[in-house]
Amino acid sequence: MENQKIATSEPIPTTDNLVVYLDTSASMAGYVSPNGKTAFAATPDGTIFSKTLLELRNVITSLSPQPQVVVRKVDAEVSAPSFSDLDLSKASLDRSFYNGRETNLAGAIKSFAETLDKNADDKSPPRFHILVTDGVQSADKNNAALNCAQGSD
């Protein structure tokens, strides 16, 4: 029997960041209660969506070692990184947080491999990614780089 070589690969270096990509299109606002009024999937102390975002923040901040939380808003563009887990709390309570006209989900997924700080010496991408969305890609114009046609939903 021949000596078979098993292909191995070196692990890709990553940073200990957990990036939450949050779809901030206007359609997502319906998942947050308007000032305590009853809305979609309402519970006595908020919506299931709101409680899920708060629980996500709680879980992340209780991990040991704790990854650095980064929030990126996803609408027509993917926002610059915000290094504050408090953005998750705000997103769970404030309907005005969701005011985007488009949803660039393809752009969010493409950014998974990008470094968070383009000026840093370490160009490694983050290790963890969570995309929170209602699942609808929406574009007002063509974006050939992401294979998205105008009006795509």
Domain extent listing, the chain: 15-146
Q: Does domain 15-146 have CATH number 3.40.50?
A: yes
What pLDDT is recorded for position 45? 62
Higher pLDDT, 113 or 39: 113
Distance CA 125, CA 116 (A): 7
CA distances from 83 to 18, 96, 104 (A): 10, 20, 21
What pLDDT is recorded for position 142? 56
pTM of the full predicted structure? 0.78
The one-letter amino acid at 60 = I
pLDDT in tens, 72-84: 999 989 999 999 8
pLDDT in tens, 42-52: 555 668 888 89
CA atoms within 13 A on the CB side of 48: 2
